[in-house]
Structure 1
Amino acid sequence: MRRYLFPLLAFCLCACSGQAVFPEPPPRPPSYHLQAPAKAPLTAITDRLVRGRTGQTGVYPVTSAQNALSVRLAAIRAARRSIDIQYFLFRRDETGLLLTRALIRAADRGVRVRFLLDDFTTGDADRVLVALDRHRNIQIRLFNPFPHKSLRALEFFTDFARLQRRMHNKSFTVDNRVTFIGGRNLSNQYFGIDRDLNFGDLDMLAIGAVVPDISRQFDRYWNSPYSFPVQSVIDYRPVPDADLAFAEDLERNASTLLASDYGRNLASSPVIDALSDDANLWYWSDTRALYDPPGKVAQPPAAGRQFAGRELMEKITAARRELIVISPYMLPGEHYLQQLIDAAQSGVEVHILTNSLASSDVLLVHGAYRKYRRPLLRAGIHLYELSSELKYKQDNWNGESRSLLHAKAFVVDRNTLYVGSFNLDNRSILLNTELGLLIDSPQLAGEVAENFIRNVGDNAWRLELRGEQIVWHRADGKRHSTDPGTSWWQRLGSVVSGWLPIEPLL
């Protein structure tokens, strides 16, 4: 999100932006999640898998970018009653259009589709959203919309107090039976085929007890006063034959993508059949949906407010033996920095993985993060930065694209695992709304922790403090005394941006 925020200029303007005033939406009929028919494929599959596990949730981690798209497409094909989608970002690119085609096909056979999208980055997807909304079984709403009457940047800066507050939740729920929760958005960058960037990310595919709660949180956002019908926001009316042209565009895109090696592998993914047949592949536990109310965006930022971020941070800082933090953006603020330091000094083994300067997509964020490195290292915290040089990838089908960390996960004492949209920063804690799963599974949490400890040295730089000098180490013995894989100009930019008092906006 940060690469879209223009925080330098925003800082200059936010002082005069005043109290946020949210517009009233036009009249909209409320709607709520639907139950799948008794004979729907996902009903039969999930009933069989959850049998004898009343009150438990089954989760399966989806780390592969290609599998993440494959299982979503399979779920859409299996849908019989409803699909509810809630995301921060959706792009009109190859994977975005392939998902669009699948959603239209589901709607054609009578499935109700509700798509709630934050309006911050709609951009080139505007016309796709309007086209989708024209289908009788598809409804599109935009969360906290821009006026769409002038340049986006101008609108952002003239209404900064409202428009900087975004819905960062990510959920994809089909027939109220299966749901995807995690960090991925819907675009090529998250599914392994972007030409420039590849975001290493993590989803949890969930079935069982937690799914209705995810559906209820979707209803809260969908019916909230911050969600507007797309036609009331985007002033675009398709010309005659536009629907036909759009359908032809979808088919051309699908034909090209599905005929590629990437597309053929989508169809042959072994994950779908295996998960449908074998309950032992799932991790069964007490799992809770942890999410902010939509009204958080209208509340003045205050560290004492009882939002999901505060509850999550209390869970994290209550670790007694070991804490693993995986966060693309690492800006804990003075309060939670001290909490992490206190944990380490009390004997907790603290490991943190975040982006390096070379793998970061936002120079300004890295500049603000720099000041935390030395205090963390002095406290004995194990700090790692993802190495783009080492090509950490999950089936990245465009080998030249740069790999970045985008997964958000926390492991507490190898008993509890959090996976969702929450970054360890001020924006997630105080400004944006977030959604994730809190999974009480020693088996899964232990496996994630073991995998992290075993592999982090091969995929990231380990930072060490020698005097006041930071040294970067990697598993093959190489060392650097400056940020690895960066130019002098990048390092200067990071230093200079770290002097700016803009961290509360990042």
Structure 2
Amino acid sequence: MTWRKLLKAFPTVILVVDILIRIVSVAVVPRNRRPSSAMAWLMAIFVAPIPGSVLYGLLGSTKLPKDRRDKQREINSLILENTQGLDNRVPTDTQPPWFGTVVQLNRTLGAMPLIPGNTTRLLPDYAGSIAAMTEAVDAAERYVHVEFYILTRDESTFLFFDALKRAHDRGVKVRVLYDHWATIRNPQGRVTRTWLRDAGIRFEEMLPFHPTKGMWRRPDLRNHRKIVVVDGDVAFTGSQNMTDPSYNKRGNIRRGLQWKDLMVRVDGPAAVGLNALFITDWYSETDELPTDAEAEPLVERRTGDDAYECQVVPSGPGFDGENNLRLFNALVYGAQERLIIASPYFVPDESMLYAITTAAERGVDVQLFACEVADQFLVYHAQRSYYETLLRAGVRIFLYEKPIVLHSKHFTVDDDVAVIGSSNMDMRSFSLNFEVSLMVRGAGFVDQVREIEADYRAKSHEITLDGWLTRPAPLQVLDNVARLTAAVQ
């Protein structure tokens, strides 16, 4: 009799739960969230209340646990305390009038100062970049800090790993960080972990996701940074992972896909800033502060035409704001003549879309380099849904020809400022990933990036509005549907 009553009442219970979920979601979901993101989540919950609410419970929050965010604030306070007065070392008479406010924005959000006296070398060749990092590791005397989203020992990277082993064997402190989820999913990820353990090299997994061991957080909050620091004197950062340019994946190899990236070598105080990011992430994972790297001075080391002002800009869910998005928007609004962007995953939020289209409409020469082919299905189609709006505003769009995946992430503003780093221009990089950006001021550096942009242009084809509007209707529908997923963050 009891079971019959329960079965009879079951539809009523489901209806009540359904209504309660909808009511509660309207009150909870919009809190501190973009309207577009809130509407997307509410639509998912209203269409399928129970699955939608479960998905929201798993993926709805972009915040890390409080203790992790407290560590970030602690490091920020230490950086601010130890860099007092450095802001006055940079001459402002030759800077664009808007540049000082951008520097202050970065300082407020990410704590790092703008420091002169850096020399740089761009590394656009994939194998050449690995060779340069290997050479730097072989010259290490005190410590080597390595941090990558994807870190695998394979046919393309084994020389770098062998250099780490040599450094370790001669007494250099070698510390390695890699993103747990991204690296372990790679076909060579587990082999790499075993190799590091057998080599005796200290390594830690960033943002480990082991629910059965109590290590639980939103699984797609990831550390996307790419950093190598040697002795606090030399550092590398950019878009390139430490892995084979095919990412060791059968599908990529079958399609002939090869990744093309851009890294930069920095000699000078910016290397100390990048090391501070590594220390932050090491501290976050281990509760340890490396004592051999704590007291590196952020001081000017070079002068002259080849010495540039650099500011390291960290971002990610450990911060209260979206540091990279705010930096990018500020620079876009500062552009007066030319704005050239390279981003493999270009899915801007409303603020960035308005900033870029407004720049084009006020006469700035705006160019976007993206990929003709990509590895991320939804992102690829979502970004294509923005092309019509961009083209109508006057943005020129160049698609790098397949089978190369243009994975570089950088942009230049007029002839003064460039940004290079790990951050895409999409909601994942703005809200979900830990990223690193390096802002560089100096005409010489911008000229170097311009040469790389010219090479991209020669190997790309430009799309036009008329041509874009004639693509097949099913593709247009697919692009528009994929766009809806961009807001569900």
Q: What does residue range 342-353 of structure 1 map to in structure 2 within 5 Å? A: 342-353=358-369
Would you say 1:93 and 2:154 are equivalent positions? Answer: yes
TM-superposed deviation, 1:179: 0.7
Using the TM superposition, name which of 408-417 and 456-465 deviates more.
Answer: 456-465
Would you say 1:386 and 2:397 are equivalent positions? Answer: no
1:192–1:198: 8 Å Cα contact kept in structure 2?
A: no
TM-superposed deviation, 1:60: 0.4
SS of aligned partner of 1:180: strand
Q: What does residue range 120-139 of structure 1 map to in structure 2 within 5 Å? A: 120-123=181-184, 124-133=188-197, 138-139=201-202
Q: Deviations over 1:274-316 (max 9, x none)?
A: xxxxx999942111111126724xx6xxxxx252331233123
1:11–1:505: 8 Å Cα contact kept in structure 2?
A: no
Q: Deviations over 1:76-130 (max 9, x none)?
A: 1111211001110012422343322221121011011110111122224235324
Over 3 Å counting, the alpha-carbon distance change for 1:60 and 1:12 in structure 2 is farther
1:421–1:435: 8 Å Cα contact kept in structure 2?
A: yes
Would you say 1:292 and 2:318 are equivalent positions? Answer: no
Structure 1 residue aligned with 2:243: 187
Partners in 1 of 2:247 and 2:191 — Cα distance?
A: 22
SS of aligned partner of 1:184: coil
| Aligned AA (2:150) | L
Partners in 1 of 2:244 and 2:432 — Cα distance?
A: 27
| Aligned AA (1:343) | A
Partners in 2 of 1:315 and 1:21 — Cα distance?
A: 28
Q: How many pairs were matched up?
A: 375
Partners in 2 of 1:403 and 1:283 — Cα distance?
A: 32
Partners in 1 of 2:441 and 2:245 — Cα distance?
A: 30
Over 3 Å counting, the alpha-carbon distance change for 1:145 and 1:282 in structure 2 is farther
| Aligned AA (2:258) | N
Partners in 2 of 1:283 and 1:90 — Cα distance?
A: 32
TM-superposed deviation, 1:55: 3.9
Identity of aligned pairs, percent? 24
Q: What does residue range 90-489 of structure 1 map to in structure 2 within 5 Å? A: 90-123=151-184, 124-133=188-197, 138-147=201-210, 162-189=218-245, 195=253, 196-224=256-284, 226=285, 283-292=306-315, 295-296=318-319, 305=321, 307-356=323-372, 359-388=373-402, 402-449=403-450, 451-452=452-453, 454-466=454-466, 469-470=467-468, 482=471
| Aligned AA (2:275) | S
1:496 to 470, 478, 483: 478
2:329–2:355: 8 Å Cα contact kept in structure 1?
A: no
Partners in 2 of 1:355 and 1:409 — Cα distance?
A: 14
Q: What does residue range 15-34 of structure 1 map to in structure 2 within 5 Å? A: 15-17=56-58, 19=61, 22=65
SS of aligned partner of 2:131: helix
TM-superposed deviation, 1:346: 1.0
2:420–2:438: 8 Å Cα contact kept in structure 1?
A: yes
SS of aligned partner of 2:378: helix
TM-superposed deviation, 1:65: 1.4
Partners in 2 of 1:134 and 1:312 — Cα distance?
A: 42
TM-superposed deviation, 1:426: 1.1
| Aligned AA (1:323) | L
SS of aligned partner of 2:151: coil
Partners in 2 of 1:455 and 1:113 — Cα distance?
A: 36
Task: Flag the structure with larger Rg.
Answer: 2
Structure 2 residue aligned with 1:399: none
Structure 2 residue aligned with 1:39: none
Structure 2 residue aligned with 1:474: none
| Aligned AA (1:173) | V
Partners in 2 of 1:199 and 1:11 — Cα distance?
A: 35
1:58–1:285: 8 Å Cα contact kept in structure 2?
A: yes
Long gaps (5+) in structure 2: 1-43, 69-74, 76-114, 289-301
Long gaps (5+) in structure 1: 1-7, 26-30, 32-53, 230-278, 300-304, 389-401, 472-480, 483-487
2:151–2:183: 8 Å Cα contact kept in structure 1?
A: yes
Partners in 2 of 1:414 and 1:311 — Cα distance?
A: 18
SS of aligned partner of 2:334: coil
2:179–2:205: 8 Å Cα contact kept in structure 1?
A: yes
SS of aligned partner of 2:192: helix
Partners in 2 of 1:21 and 1:284 — Cα distance?
A: 38
Partners in 2 of 1:493 and 1:350 — Cα distance?
A: 26
Partners in 1 of 2:209 and 2:429 — Cα distance?
A: 21
Over 3 Å counting, the alpha-carbon distance change for 1:192 and 1:133 in structure 2 is closer
TM-superposed deviation, 1:72: 1.3
TM-superposed deviation, 1:189: 1.0
Q: Deviations over 1:381-402 (max 9, x none)?
A: 11111111xxxxxxxxxxxxx3
1:56–1:208: 8 Å Cα contact kept in structure 2?
A: yes
SS of aligned partner of 1:295: coil
Over 3 Å counting, the alpha-carbon distance change for 1:68 and 1:127 in structure 2 is same
Over 3 Å counting, the alpha-carbon distance change for 1:462 and 1:114 in structure 2 is same
Partners in 2 of 1:191 and 1:367 — Cα distance?
A: 21
Partners in 2 of 1:85 and 1:215 — Cα distance?
A: 10
1:328–1:406: 8 Å Cα contact kept in structure 2?
A: yes
Using the size of structure 2 for normalisation, the TM-score is: 0.68
Partners in 1 of 2:324 and 2:64 — Cα distance?
A: 23
SS of aligned partner of 2:478: helix
Using the size of structure 1 for normalisation, the TM-score is: 0.66
TM-superposed deviation, 1:368: 0.8
| Aligned AA (1:379) | A
1:89–1:186: 8 Å Cα contact kept in structure 2?
A: yes
Partners in 2 of 1:64 and 1:415 — Cα distance?
A: 24
Over 3 Å counting, the alpha-carbon distance change for 1:404 and 1:505 in structure 2 is farther
